[in-house]
A = this chain, B = another copy of it.
Amino acid sequence: MRPVAEHAAAVAALFAPTATEWVPLAEARGRVLAQDLVAPHPLPPFANSAMDGYAVRSADLAAVSVELPIELPVAADLPAGRTDGPALAPGTAHRIMTGAAMPDGADAVVQVEWTDGGTERVRVDRAVEAGQNVRGAGGDVTAGEVVLEAGTLLGPAQVGLAAAIGSGTLPVRRRPRVLVLSTGSELVAPGEPLRHGQIHESNGPMLAAAVDDAGGRAELLRFVPDDVEQFVRTLDDALAARADDPVDLVMTSGGVSAGAYEVVKDAFSRTRSDEGSTPTGEPDRREGRGVTFTKVAMQPGMPQGLGHHAGPTGEVAVVTLPGNPVSSLVSFEVFVRPALRAAFGHPQPERPRVRARLAEALDKPAGRRQFRRGRIDAVAGTVAPVGGAGSHLLAALARADCLIVVDEQVTHVDAGETAEVWLLDG
């Protein structure tokens, strides 16, 4: 069986780095910056007052001949935003508000609390040093400085900084676009009644949410029964309809194991081999690199597939996940999520990993890496498995906040021993 790391590398290799697009500031949150962001002007752009008060020449208050309090004529009023403030003449003061540009000739601000607040003349009670209560131009950012590097994840503070240097739009990496398609003749849409033998389709909504959660852009296609024609038609119609906005990945679930009706396997095998040439012997332009199905040494999630589908608009990357819901989401976590995030440059493609002591013993088969669902107690440093190893146990999956990873060769872990834990909330 194929090692987990080898399959993970193969999935990662399916993705090219996504292209750059420019988005308005209001849409930049959660995106990754595509280029270094350089300040075209300093921050602050001009020396300005850090206080409401009076702009002065500090020397006017500090000369040995000066006795405080001193009264100065107020020659101008400088609210924030005033663009034509006059210079300060020696022996005078300008009333100034926080953020207003320092007038030429002034080198300090006396806060209003140290004055009588006068508007014609002002009484100043205390001296200030040169530079006091003044924010120098460039004190935060200098012109030409890289304020945010390519690869930065944009949160509120980064958006604020980008705005402050005047960026109305930002170059960010495109979110990878993923078509999600579930298969299975037993599937019924949630909200519709079940007949005996049928179940509600859960993988599609779950995987679409997982793609969005990872920072991708999921589009959930209507699930299809175990019918190769219908599968291929649904997929190719969807690809054709999106010719202008290319799809980065087709992600299927179900139809990949060893049964008699493995629609995904059959469909992708057919486009690769049976339709590999036209009646005239010319190579079929639809022939592509194909999808390879393999068994990966993991539990859950053994049957996996990846490759390329020759769709109507060209080749598109394909990952085929197993159909059991737990297998499906665990496979997404192990293979697709990190690859997807790396593709758009996310600085933390992988889940945070910690080690924790097992609250109870675990047994597992040799030869497969096991991903058990768990709940972590960060304060105690322990992790407890939730539910059994069964790959259909969705309720336990929904209670879990982490995956417990137990290596291939291990068959037993005692309570109290440590294990690697992937934090799903991180």
Contacts and interface: CB of A to CB of B under 8 A. Distances in A.
Given A79-B261, A98-B259, A163 B135 contact: no
Contacts of A398: 147-148, 157-158, 160-161
A397 B160 contact: yes
A145 B191 CA distance: 18
A318 interface: no
A168 to B, nearest CB: 3
Interface residues of A, number: 102
A179 to B, nearest CB: 14
Interface stretch (A204-212, A232-240, A411-419): A204-212
A226 interface: yes
Interface in A162-217: 162-169, 184-187, 189-192, 194-210, 212-213
A165 to B, nearest CB: 7
Contact of A199 (B45, B97, B160, B325): B45
Contact of A424 (B95, B155, B323): B155
Given A197-B46, A202-B163, A29 B397 contact: no
Interface in A85-99: 85, 95, 97-99
A36 B193 CA distance: 21
B205 A190 contact: no
Copies of this chain per assembly: 2
A329 interface: yes
A83 interface: yes
Contacts of A98: 257, 259, 323-324
A81 B197 contact: yes
Contacts of A192: 166, 168
Contacts of A77: 260
Interface in A1-37: 25-26, 28-30
A244 to B, nearest CB: 22
Contacts of A226: 79-81
A100 interface: yes
Query: Among A41, A154, A202, A213, which residue has the most Cβ atoms of chain B within 10 A?
Result: A202
A25 B190 contact: yes
15 contacts: A25-B205, A26-B209, A45-B196, A46-B196, A77-B260, A83-B196, A83-B198, A95-B260, A100-B197, A139-B390, A154-B209, A157-B394, A166-B190, A166-B194, A168-B190
Given A26-B209, A160-B398, A164-B190, 20 more contacts: A28-B209, A41-B194, A52-B260, A79-B185, A79-B226, A80-B184, A80-B186, A81-B197, A83-B197, A101-B197, A154-B209, A156-B206, A156-B210, A157-B394, A160-B205, A160-B206, A163-B190, A163-B201, A163-B204, A168-B189
Interface of A: 25-26, 28-30, 41, 43-46, 50, 52, 77, 79-85, 95, 97-101, 112-113, 135, 139-141, 145, 147-148, 154-169, 184-187, 189-192, 194-210, 212-213, 220, 225-226, 257-261, 323-325, 329, 390, 392-398, 400, 424-426
